[in-house]
Chains A and B, each alone.
Chain A
Amino acid sequence: MSASLQAAVQEICQACGNDRTRVMDIVREVQSRFGCVTGEAMDLIAKTVSAHRVEVEGVVSFYAFLSDQPKGEVVIRLCNDVIDEMAGSERIVRAFREALGIDFGQTTPDGRITLEHTPCIGMCDQAPAAMVNDVIVTRLSSDSVWAMVRELKAHMDPKRLVQKLGDGNNAHSLVHAMVENNIRRSGPVIFADLTPGDALKKAVAMSPQEVIRDIKTSRLRGRGGAGFPTGIKWDYTRSAEGAKRYVLCNADEGEPGTFKDRVILTEKAELLFEGMAIAGYAVGAETGILYLRAEYAYLRAFLEDVLNRQRSRGLLGKDVGGKRGFDFDIRIQMGAGAYICGEETALISSCEGLRGDPKNRPPFPAQKGYLGCPTTVNNVETFCCVARILDKGPGWFAQLGSQGSSGTKLLSISGDCKSPGVYEVPFGVKLREVLKMAGAEEALAVQVGGPSGQMVGEKDYDRSICYDDLATGGSVMVFGPQRNLLHVVSKFLEFFVEESCGYCTPCRVGNVLLKERVDRILAGQGEEADLAYLQDLGQTVKMASRCGLGQTSANPVLSTLKNFRSMYESLLRKPIDGKQLSFDIHQALADAQTVVGRQSVHF
């Protein structure tokens, strides 16, 4: 074993040029071949790439899909997102437990199958869903789980679980997935047709500065959530000093309830790659990286194939778009299960083979990003808008949508609605209209922008979706009248606790404390004072956290305290005889009584 491990590790590192910055690829490969990255493997990797063992351990222990403990040949990861729960994942949980005879976090005694939970895998419109190694299985039922487990035990080949193929490119032989696109509404920007090369050729006919000027004129703002003006970001990147420049595409799509990038990657990859090449031309980069979340690994072979097609069309590689001297190519960097890697500086850390910790700012990525070079990081949808703007003109784009928010936006709508799926709508559309389109007129509450966004109710349904009002990276989760919203808040906090990188105090500790108090109220042990406590604590976490995760993780609490306060109040209890309700004297004494070996005389 040891000798074969040594040979394999050396071969894997060699294939990555023994490059320390490629540690993500190295550990991912070791994990997939050996089912884990043992301490011995970490030692070997560290020696081969001139790193320290503890650094490799730091990386392996950071990402949810990597492990130093052996896992089964097949790993089943059931999505435990709140939307999946609403779709009945509790029954699925039970079915998996019974069919496999193990609990979550365990491996079957024969060492073949491991069962785990995982946060949102981007399939909320076809929940409940799970990953079986890289294969996605959707619309699970107890019956399908039992059938699946039976089959797996017989052939151990997750690919054979896919019997009915999804629509569009999901049925492509390189994707071969049962995933559905559920494109409910197409618009002129993302889902319209484009002849490959048209946009890029128009771009390279101009100077890079003119391309940036056009992007500024279009008033395009980032589609990943933060909404920074794309033209300005490119300008900074272009004018920053550096030997090389990089274009990074953020396809980490980890915000629960978002799945629109997955549909773009499936159906509009050419448009995306053309947009990235245009960005490369504009900022002066030769290399682009697509950071693809591990949950979308099933799209990787297909995307590599699209990249090859783009190369053979002359839209990537040397003299791109026929422009002498403009060389640009794209590689895919796989993630390994970490929501925080969608944060742009964490994404850069991850691409550099480090733990997915965000970096201190300044410097900003545009000044010093990937490997210390000027870098622009943009969302998948942003690059698609770029290609369309170059093809149709900035004026055409700017007249779509609203004043402060030009263009269209893809919304991923899920939860209690008749038609979950992806909707391309013009910016400025009223939330009420969106709910009508999706068949969700009954909604009790809508979470706009995912857990890090806001939860709004009926009185806010006439507000519009745009950067200046209800901003969203795409996630719209609908909760019907039958739902317990405080439970939803607790689930969101659980997500942030699990996904915090742990670097800074307020986020690492504060989210745990927020969840503890929300759960206490849910259990009927809350008191009046807990509301002020939550408000103040939430405010500290928001103000003091180091990156966008902690700066928004308290939003579920803060926005429900504002918009659904009565829901909290109805659960509060009045203290009896001045006693704290949450204090249980018997529980408090339990440990001590065990140690002493007898009951207290008084209680």
Chain B
Amino acid sequence: MSDTINFIIDGVEIQGREGQTILEAAEAAGIYIPRLCHLKGLTPHGSCRVCTVLVNGRPQASCTQPVAEGIVVESESERVQQIRRDIIDMLFVEGNHFCMFCEKSGNCELQAMAYRFGIPTPKFPYQFPKRGVDASHPDIFVDHNRCILCGRCVRASRDLDGKHVFDFVDRGPHKRVAVNAEARLADTNLDASDKATEVCPVGAILRKRVGYAVPVGKRLYDEKPIGSDIEAAKTK
């Protein structure tokens, strides 16, 4: 086939297709590259940088970098894993993540990522930012303390729901998610059935009244580490 692209990840030869990103091609071959801002079905964002790999020795975000013939990709080496660990640590200390009493615990991708990387506690000092909670909406609440600025809600609302309920405001360390209204989520046209309410990787956008429908200990990542579904496809 003419549109097959051959390249190497961590010594393994794999085939991708024209137009695929490195992350997608790896996934199709049963290789999991850690990711947080990326979600299938949404435009790649390239913001968390957890998916960083070295392409011919140069760092690139694999969720935005297209495959190319003959590239050599380094993903699981110690120096790349070290970068990923640092980034996960950064996300933990940037916000206020108290997993032990967060509704999302066990279903949270950030927490699951820390477990996958064997991080018991971040090595950077906690920043303890002062951030708010918006519980105005009848069905959904937003807890900015846990937001990791991945932009999934922004993209889902804009591209899947056709609404633009969320977007980023301010910049640098002050950057945050805001709603398309003076201040309150209740004043937007967000509906409980919107895709934007389902995509948050952490416990920043949650549905009300269903937090403990599945008990802690029986949740998604309590059972299997994050990424194991992708890796399982390979062993089959």
Contacts and interface: CB of A to CB of B under 8 A. Distances in A.
Interface string A19-53: 00000000000000000000100000000000011
Contact of A546 (B46, B83, B173): B46
Contacts of A544: 49, 52, 59, 83, 86-87
A503 B180 contact: no
Contact of A61 (B46, B148, B171, B180): B171
Contact of A540 (B83, B148, B171): B83
Contacts of B61: 360, 546
B149 interface: yes
A524 interface: no
Q: Is the interface of A mostly helix, strand, loop or mixed?
A: helix
A499 B172 contact: yes
B166 A54 contact: yes
B215 interface: no
Size class of A's contact patch? 35 or more
B182 A503 contact: no
Interface stretch (A189-197, A452-460, A476-484, A504-512): A504-512
Interface in A56-102: 57-58, 61-62
B14 interface: no
A537 interface: yes
Contacts of B46: 360, 504, 546
A537 to B, nearest CB: 7
B66 A509 contact: no
Contacts of A39: 182
Nearest to B174: A502
B10 interface: no
Given A54-B178, A57-B169, A504 B164 contact: no
Size class of B's contact patch? 35 or more
A52 B166 CA distance: 10
Nearest to B150: A505
B28 interface: no
Interface string B194-232: 000000000000000000000000000000000000000
Given A360-B64, A546-B46, A508 B164 contact: no
Given A54-B166, A512-B173, A540 B47 contact: no
A540 B84 CA distance: 9
B168 A543 contact: no
A355 B174 CA distance: 14
A39 B167 CA distance: 15
A62 B170 contact: yes
A60 B167 CA distance: 13
B23 interface: no
B39 interface: no
Contact of B167 (A54, A356, A508): A54
Contacts of A504: 46-49
A54 to B, nearest CB: 4
Contacts of B72: none
B40 interface: no
Contact of B87 (A58, A500, A540): A540
A497 interface: yes
Contacts of B49: 504-506, 544-546
Contact of A505 (B64, B90, B164): B90
Given A58-B167, A540-B83, A544-B83, A502 B173 contact: yes
A544 B88 CA distance: 12
A354 B59 CA distance: 27
Given A506-B87, A509-B91, A540-B83, A52 B180 contact: yes
A62 B46 CA distance: 19
Interface string A486-516: 0000000000011111111110111011001
B47 A516 contact: no
A543 B79 CA distance: 10
B170 A61 contact: yes
Nearest first, the 6 A-B pairs at minimum CB distance are: A502-B175, A509-B90, A54-B180, A540-B86, A54-B167, A500-B172
Interface of A: 39, 52-55, 57-58, 61-62, 338, 340, 355-356, 360, 362, 497-506, 508-510, 512-513, 516, 536-537, 540, 543-546
Given A54-B169, A505-B91, 13 more contacts: A52-B164, A53-B180, A54-B167, A57-B178, A61-B169, A360-B45, A501-B171, A504-B48, A508-B149, A509-B94, A543-B59, A544-B87, A546-B47
